[in-house]
Amino acid sequence: MDKSRYFFRTVVYAKRGKQVTLVDLNNPREDTPVLDPWLSLVINLADGRHTIQQLIDFLKSKYAEPVPENLEQTVESVIIRLTEADAIRLSEQPVDLPYYLTVPAEKLDIELARKMMTEDNFRQVNL
């Protein structure tokens, strides 16, 4: 995996404490399934401004020594799973996200986000 690539979300998400769910702003539901912790973490951090290597380095810095041996493999596996589901994409350059993908749904102006999504012909994927 080319860890110099930038990763960015292609889904609208919401945060419930440390938990992350995907949100359809045109059909919001309270019972949306919570993503597993690794998927949540990557979706939350997929701002288009950081590389996969920066993500790995950040995660390594959160561990007291020793860093788990399989950390990089786990991150790569999560990146692959999310790209296959089209919940994130990879880029050679930093990416500016549209307004409706920049922050969790609870921080959005929902009407403005819906308007922009319609203008962009945005379609939400489900994991």
In this predicted model, what pLDDT tens digit does every residue of 28-66 receive, in sequence order?
776 678 899 999 999 999 999 999 999 999 999 988 888
In this predicted model, what pLDDT tens digit does every residue of 83-125 receive, in sequence order?
999 999 999 999 999 999 999 999 999 999 999 999 999 987 7
Structure tokens at 110: 């929902």
Domain 6-120 has CATH 3.90.930.60: yes
Q: Kindly provide the residue ranges of all beta strands, DSSP E only, lying in the chain, ordered along the sequence.
A: 6-9, 13-16, 19-22, 47-51, 88-91
